[in-house]
Amino acid sequence: MMNRTLSRKLLGSMCGISNPRLSFAQSAVNTVQREKELIKSRELEKDEPRPLYMDFQATTPMDPRVLDAMLPYQVNYYGNPHSRTHAYGWESESAMEKARKQVADLIGADPREIVFTSGATESNNMSIKGVARFYKAKKKHIVTTQTEHKCVLDSCRIMEAEGFDVTYLPVKNNGLIDLKQLEETIRPDTSLVSIMTVNNEIGVKQPIKEIGNSYYQHHSLNVYLRIFISSISIMFLISGHLCRSKNVFFHTDAAQAVGKIPINVNDWKVDLMSISGHKLYGPKGIGALYLRRRPRIRIEPLQSGGGQERGLRSGTVPTPLAVGLGAACEIAQQELEYDHKHVTVLANRLVQKIMAAIPDVVLNGDPDQRYPGCVNLSFAYVEGESLLMALKDVALSSGSACTSASLEPSYVLRAIGTDEDLAHSSIRFGIGRFTTEDEVDYTVEKCVQQVKRLREMSPLWEMVQEGIDIKSIKWTQH
Amino acid sequence: MAASSREHVLSLYRLLLKESKKFPSYNYRTYALRRVRDAFRENRTVEDPKVVEELVKRARDGLALIQRQKWSSIIPTIGLRQVKLPACTASVSGVHRCVCVRVCCSVCGGVC
């Protein structure tokens, strides 16, 4: 914060010096000051070309194959899938069940374990609030991380207000959690652990398989003990369902991971998983929640009504959207390897070209344990918002869509320990199925050009070039 | 079999590429061209006739899909122009404003 105000003051004070470059700088500074650090939304002008889309973590365009699958259900087969008395209902229901199977096949689950929701936010809310409230008699503790999505953190905050204890685990500098710390944090009264598979801002992939499997061993002893007790108790005709309950449930928000990395809920020993439709080239407004049946996990439903979706989420299932989600999942399963290869090649190209062209660029997050399509780079001595404004031909974002409205730097970057000034100058490049090499090259060229231009205007950069250590400067004298 | 003969497959390939070039949206167009080319290249050495037949069927379904979908993607792109990339050829220009709305019915496969 201080660096920014100081740089503006310095630039302002230099306006008296006659220098053709600085007069442009001065007008640029004035523009920045006028626009008040927030990029204002505006309508594109008449012949203004649309920007290139490089924000695949915010949302993705729908694949034409998905649209093709959805259209008949928007136009012709418009029945309510819960109508049991006529062909419109029956055909809608069969389409919905087919979609459910397609979603289940992608993650290695049974179709009966999938519940359609309105998106990953609703699935996350259902998981956290549902599990916590159902088991609240005995279990009062929830564990999550500091880099979770806003909906998870907000739900946990609501749970705190309801009287639960929530632990927000810190992450290491590379964005991964410490497994030992997680082990120590789990208490006998922990009901839920929620950790996202792939982070939407820095692209880091958490070791979900290790966490899930370590859980299983952590309390499997208890499970066997309970089975032993239950077998004895059955002899005495005591009901066994209490004894089969698992100790801790494991929820993962896989919105950014589904369809991009191979997922198998049985390998990973995950109990609940949130899926988002519009992150895997499907329609917006639909998502799914995976709820394990063996051993059964119970949740308290958030939405009450006619008992659709096994009573867990009442409300008409939007058939066209569900069909779209199913088609998107099937396409993702077929194209997973091809897309992953394509995205990796492009992401490496982007990062290597930028790093070769300009110095002082930091890649946030672990370089190996990551999904390659989400590249978060911090450009030192450049302000993130000014860079975004300068790159107006490319649709990018700094931080996630839900935090871009505020002036604060992203909490995820703060959690991984980046310095304040580097956190302000971070940009997230999203690469997906439809990105081309030409788009990446154009973005790199523009980015390098603008970063060089902005750095030339920055007095901090001048000081660094002269060899002064920025961190050793005392900015204020009083 | 005649249906899976070399000429047939090649003509399918050419048709697919021709139809893919008609997508108004830059991203869909480039993806379709790339995917078709890579899919045909990958399956170039497949010998088993059953597998070949299945792949040819998939290609034909894909062709029908592209023919349907390029209409439904024209409607929202009226007036759409994308940033001209230095290496690429025409972006979306030339979509005149009087394209009437056509709804593609995938049951009858035609334009109604």
d(CA B92, nearest CA chain A) in Å: 10
Q: Is A402 a catalytic residue?
A: yes
What is the residue whose two structure tokens read 């290597």? A352
Render pLDDT for A142-173 as a digit per residue (tens, 0 to 9).
999 999 999 999 999 999 999 999 999 999 99
- Distances A449 to A444, A454, A470, B44 between C-alpha atoms, Å: 8, 9, 24, 42
Q: Which residue has the higher pLDDT, A20 or A255?
A: A255
Q: How confident is the model at residue A224 (pLDDT cuts 50, 70, 90)?
A: low
Q: Looking at this predicted complex, what is its ipTM? A: 0.79
pLDDT at B103: 32
Is A161 in contact with A133 (CB distance < 8 Å)? no
To the nearest whole number, what is the mean pLDDT of chain A? 84
Give CA–CA dist B27/B22, Å, rounded: 12
- Distances B54 to A47, A89, B50 between C-alpha atoms, Å: 46, 32, 6
Q: How confident is the model at residue B79 (pLDDT cuts 50, 70, 90)?
A: low
Percent of chain A scoring above 90 in pLDDT: 65
Within 8 A of A430 by CB-CB distance, chain B residues are none
Segment A99-123 mean pLDDT: 96
Q: How confident is the model at residue A95 (pLDDT cuts 50, 70, 90)?
A: very high
Contact call for A67 and B72, based on CB within 8 A: yes
Least confident of A219-233, A276-290, A419-433, B32-46: A219-233
Render pLDDT for A361-390 as a digit per residue (tens, 0 to 9).
999 999 999 999 999 999 998 888 888 889
Q: How confident is the model at residue A239 (pLDDT cuts 50, 70, 90)?
A: very low
Least confident of A344-348, A415-419, A473-477, B64-68: A473-477
Query: Closest to B107 (Cβ–Cβ): which among A67, A72, A441?
Result: A72
**B52 close contact with A: CB closer than 8 A:** no
**B43 close contact with A: CB closer than 8 A:** no
Q: 3-class DSSP state for residue A40?
A: coil
- Distances A222 to A225, A293, A439, B105 between C-alpha atoms, Å: 5, 19, 54, 58
- Residue A40 has which token pair? 């204002």
d(CA A301, nearest CA chain B) in Å: 38
Contact call for B82 and A72, based on CB within 8 A: no
Q: How confident is the model at residue A30 (pLDDT cuts 50, 70, 90)?
A: very low
Mutate to test the interface with A, among B26, B92, B111, B112 (most CBs of A within 10 A): B26
Q: Which residue has the higher pLDDT, A247 or B76?
A: A247
Render pLDDT for A317-366 as a digit per residue (tens, 0 to 9).
999 999 999 999 999 999 999 999 999 999 999 999 999 999 999 999 99
pLDDT at A268: 92
- Distances A365 to A55, A187, A415, A438 between C-alpha atoms, Å: 18, 29, 11, 26
Segment A72-85 mean pLDDT: 93
Least confident of A30-39, A341-350, B33-42: A30-39
Q: How confident is the model at residue A243 (pLDDT cuts 50, 70, 90)?
A: very low
- Residue A360 has which token pair? 């002082």
Within 8 A of B69 by CB-CB distance, chain A residues are 64-65, 67-68
Q: How confident is the model at residue B102 (pLDDT cuts 50, 70, 90)?
A: very low
Is A278 in contact with A293 (CB distance < 8 Å)? no
pLDDT at A25: 41
Contact call for B81 and A49, based on CB within 8 A: yes
Q: Number of C-alpha atoms within 13 angstroms, CB side, residue A472? A: 5
Q: What is the pTM of this model?
A: 0.81
pLDDT at A337: 95
Segment A55-80 mean pLDDT: 93
Within 8 A of B106 by CB-CB distance, chain A residues are 68, 71-72
Q: How confident is the model at residue A232 (pLDDT cuts 50, 70, 90)?
A: low
Residues on A contacting B at a C-beta cutoff of 8 Å: 47, 49-53, 61, 64-65, 67-68, 71-72, 75-76, 338, 393, 433-436, 438-439, 441-442
- Distances B47 to A163, B2, B5, B13 between C-alpha atoms, Å: 65, 15, 12, 18
